[in-house]
Structure 1
Amino acid sequence: MAKTESLNGKVVWITGTSSGLGKALATECANRGAQIVLMARRFEELEKVRLSLKNPEQHLSVVADITDEAQVRHAYEQVLHAKGRIDWLINNAGLSLRALIHETSMDTERAIIEVDYFSQVFLTKTVLPTFLKQKAGRIAFISSVAGLLGTQYRASYSAAKGAIHLWANSLRAEVADQGVNVSVIFPGFVKTNVSFNALNGEGKPRGIQDEAIENGLDADEFAKITVDALLKGDEYIVVGGAKEKLGVLVSRISPKILYKMIRKTKVK
């Protein structure tokens, strides 16, 4: 049986940590002794999270817009200067969508892909040399069950989350013999503000909570399950309820049945 990794003293960089899954993951990792690098666009919000964590003095708030390459490079320099190494990178920052395809502008399509795919790729490529030099570390991506299935009202979101999954698979294959591990997490419905912040077809925040999200898994429970799986070295991690797990299973066994199931599902 493989030995479970410890987070004690490890440097864990998590994007999108001002709220939601990122905040929950930061809390869980800090409780296990990690030094957290929190990154988002608003310093005040990051500092609130940092001060709420166990041993706040050992954590670092770094302000950057994940889609701004210059800001991301500067953030990387700040992290290396302050911490000297990076043990885990968790690509969590993301943006969702709630609009039918014919209602969605191309600007909105591009905004989703920019945040959920290109920004994750750029940050990972920026940080990768440090992992390769260390010959150790874990890079994780928060994808989505939607990225495995594809559903109504989430076309470009599903596409971006599917794309980052396959990009991560390629990365894993390329760095497997250099001590760098790659994991992808596929959350189902988790109780966060994701649907409030999701874009409508015009690219504006929707401001409405989905019933499925409201009744979803608690974010703290999601974080505990996810960190447990990462510490065990899992590479493919589905976190969700019975319906989401069933959908993932059916997608592997019979895509034809899956497509029929999705057509009948009320997912908005």
Structure 2
Amino acid sequence: MEVRDKVIWITGASSGIGKSLAQLAGQKGARLILSGRNTARLKEVQNTLPNPEWAHILPLDLSVTESLQDCVEQALGCFNRIDILVNNAGISQRSLIADTDIAVYERLIQVNYLGTVALSKALLPHFIREKRGHFVVVTSLMGKFGSPWRSGYCGAKHALHGFFDVLRMEHQKDGIAVTLVCPGFVNTDVARNALVGDGAAQSRQDQATATGMDPERFARKMLKAIERRKMEVYIGGKEVSGVYIKRFFPGLLHKLVLRSKVV
């Protein structure tokens, strides 16, 4: 399946992975709906596209779940259909469990898990009616194994895998596909925007993220997985091996992660 002429709705499209994916899909002839909280930055992304008129801006805040049904109706009004929803928006964390307020965990679950679930559920009836549709969910390698300083982030990403694995099973009969995309370290602002223990933003880059994969390269690999309708894909550097080490040698992975520099 090629994305040319497909209608792709991307959340978290104002920067990082979402921005790079939008630019690449736009180059390939996709129609785009760009969502996020920062309208000005979304417009900047729109203006970098080869055909800006093929992209609509739709502001969206995943933490306000009661607004998401209206957002879906607005999105469907842009091109009268949606072929692919890319659930990319989210927020990370950099704090130890003992130092983290429960409100931080609540926000991580609200944005990364419940907001994503609510948006997908609101769009699901459209996919069922059309007997086709594709949910793409950007989770993380942290949805497959854990790492210090990211306890709440890991928990929310693990939850996404559980939910969307079941959605795939229940709605395969309706022609609906689910692709879980698990990034490793990607050089974006995810670390700068990550929440620390009191809920403030970390406001600085960390070494592991700064030396991560270029987001444009990541987007190329991600789009290939979308076009092939992969069920699950791991994209990153040597950290990807953690998925397989966890499966066969969990004790070894525990030791390796403890020795690694993750912040």
TM-score, length-normalised on structure 1?
A: 0.96
Match 2:253 to one of 229, 244, 258 = 258
Q: How does 1:1-268 map to 2 (within 5 A)?
A: 5-242=1-238, 244-268=239-263
- 1:22-77: CA deviation from partner (whole Å, max 9, x where unpaired): 10111111111110100011221111111111210011000121111233222211
CA distance in 2, matches of 1:125, 1:233: 20
CA distance in 1, matches of 2:12, 2:40: 13
- Alpha-carbon offset, residue 162 of structure 1: 0.9
Letter in 2 for 1:257: L
Report the more deviating stretch, 106-115 or 75-84. Answer: 75-84
- Alpha-carbon offset, residue 119 of structure 1: 0.4
TM-score, length-normalised on structure 2?
A: 0.98
CA distance in 1, matches of 2:188, 2:244: 25
Percent identity, aligned pairs only, is 36
CA distance in 1, matches of 2:78, 2:187: 33
Alignment gaps of 5+ in structure 1: none
CA distance in 2, matches of 1:265, 1:216: 14
Report the more deviating stretch, 253-262 or 220-229. Answer: 253-262
Letter in 1 for 2:151: A
CA distance in 2, matches of 1:266, 1:216: 13
Q: Give structure 1 regions of 4+ aligned residues with deviation exceeding 6 angstroms.
A: none
Alignment gaps of 5+ in structure 2: none
- Alpha-carbon offset, residue 260 of structure 1: 2.1
- Alpha-carbon offset, residue 265 of structure 1: 2.1
Q: Is the Cα–Cα contact under 8 Å of residues 208 and 261 in structure 2 kept in the other structure?
A: no
Q: CA RMSD in A?
A: 1.0
- Alpha-carbon offset, residue 263 of structure 1: 2.2
- 1:129-151: CA deviation from partner (whole Å, max 9, x where unpaired): 11111111210100001111110
- Alpha-carbon offset, residue 98 of structure 1: 0.3
CA distance in 1, matches of 2:195, 2:6: 35
User: Number of matched residues?
Assistant: 263
